[in-house]
Amino acid sequence: MSNDENDYLKIKLQNDAIEAKEKDAYFKEVTNTLNTDERLLNYFKDFDEKSVQEFKEFYAHRKVSWRFNKYSQTEFKASLDERFHGYCVTALKNIQYKKLFHAMSSWMSEEETFDGIVISWDWYEWIAKPLSCPFLPPIEKHEVQCYIDFLNQVGYDFSVEDTYLNLSPDDFFETDQEKGEDRWKGDDEDDDYKYCSWFQFYDKCYDTEHFKLKRGTRSKKENRYVLRAYEEQSKQNPIDPNIVHAPYINIYEEKENFIRIFEDSEFKHLYRAHAAQMEQFSFTEEIDMEIIHLSEADEIIPIESNDDWRKGVKIACEKYHRETTNLLIWDVYEEYLIFKTIKDGFKEWESENTAEAHRQEAANRILTGRRLMGEPEDFNF
Answer yes or no: is pLDDT of 371 > 90. Answer: yes
CB proximity list for 40: less than 8 A, separation 6 or greater: 33, 34, 262
**In b/e form, how buried is each residue of 140-176, taking b as 16+ CB within 10 angstroms?**
eeebbebbbebbeeeeeebbbeebebebebebbbbee
pLDDT for 138 equals 97
Judge whether residue 51 has pLDDT over 80. Answer: yes
Give the pLDDT mean for 181-199. Answer: 69
Overall average pLDDT of the 205-225 stretch: 91
Residue 380 lies in a domain: no
Report whether pLDDT(238) > 90.
no
* Average pLDDT for 167-191: 70
Residue 152 has pLDDT above 70, yes or no: yes
Kindly report the CA angle at 170 between 255 and 344, in degrees rounded to 5?
A: 70
Q: What is the DSSP string of 313-324?
A: HHHHHHHHHHHH
Tell me how far the alpha carbon of residue 197 is from its chain's centroid: 17
Q: Looking at the domain assignment, is residue 274 inside a domain?
A: no
Confirm whether 4 is domain-assigned: no
From the list 15, 69, 33, the residue with the least C-alpha distance to 347 is: 15
Per the model's pLDDT, the better-predicted residue between 71 and 197 turns out to be 197
Most confident of 156-160, 237-241, 337-341: 337-341
Mean pLDDT of 207-236: 89
Average pLDDT, the chain: 81
- The percentage of the chain sitting over the pLDDT mark of 90, rounded to a whole number, equals 33
Of 71 and 360, the structure prediction assigns the larger pLDDT to 360
Confidence of residue 77 (pLDDT cuts 50, 70, 90): very low
Q: What is the pLDDT of residues 11-46, one digit of tens each?
A: 778 877 888 888 899 999 999 999 999 999 999 988
**Residues with Cβ within 8 Å of residue 267, at least 6 apart in sequence:** 63, 66, 67, 259
pLDDT band at 331 (very low <50, low <70, confident <90, very high): very high
Query: What's the rounded mean pLDDT across residues 252-257?
Result: 80
What's the pLDDT at 163? Answer: 54
pLDDT at residue 29 in the model = 93
Domain count, the chain: 1
Q: Is 65 helix (H, G, I), strand (E, B) or coil?
A: helix
Q: Is residue 290 assigned to a domain?
A: yes
Task: Give the orientation angle of helix 265-281 with respect to helix 287-296, to 10 degrees.
Answer: 90
Q: Specify if 208 maps to a domain.
A: yes
Gyration radius of the chain over CA positions: 24
Question: 182 or 268: whose pLDDT is higher?
Answer: 268
DSSP string for 334-354: HHHHHHTTSTTTTTTTS---T
Q: What angle do CA 291, 288, 91 make, to 5 degrees?
A: 65
Per the model's pLDDT, the better-predicted residue between 232 and 132 turns out to be 132
Sign of CA dihedral 107, 112, 117, 119: positive
Asked if residue 27 belongs to a domain, the reply is no
Count Cβ neighbours within 10 Å for each residue of 84-116 and write b for 16 or more, e otherwise: bbbbbbbbbbbbbbbbbbbbbbebbbeeeebee
Instruction: Report the range out of 86-95, 97-106, 218-227, 231-240 with the highest average pLDDT.
Output: 97-106
Contact 380, 48 (CB under 8 A): no
| pLDDT given for residue 92 in this prediction | 95
367 residue type, one letter:
L
Rounded Cα–Cα distance for residues 60 and 278 (Å): 18
Check pLDDT > 80 for residue 82.
no
Query: 128 — alpha (psi -120 to 50), left (phi > 0) or beta?
Result: alpha
247 found inside a domain: no
- 293 vs 244, which has greater pLDDT? 244
Asked whether the CA dihedral 258, 261, 263, 267 is positive or negative, the reply is: positive
Interval 303-330: pLDDT, tens: 666 666 666 666 777 777 788 888 889 9
Say yes or no to pLDDT of 283 above 50. no
At 139 the pLDDT is: 97
Q: With CA atoms as reference, report the closest residue to 102 among 195, 211, 218.
A: 211
Contact assessment for residue 29 and residue 59, using Cβ atoms and an 8 Å cutoff: no
Which residues have CB under 8 Å from 78's CB, separation 6+?
A: 72, 277, 280, 281
pLDDT at 36: 93
Least confident of 95-99, 251-255, 260-264, 324-328: 251-255
Give 209 or 271, the one with higher predicted confidence.
Answer: 209
pLDDT for position 161 = 44
Residue 258 lies in a domain: no
**Domain enclosing residue 198, as ranges:** 78-236+282-372
Report field, pTM of the whole predicted structure over 0.75: no
Q: Are 124 and 356 in contact (CB under 8 A)?
A: yes
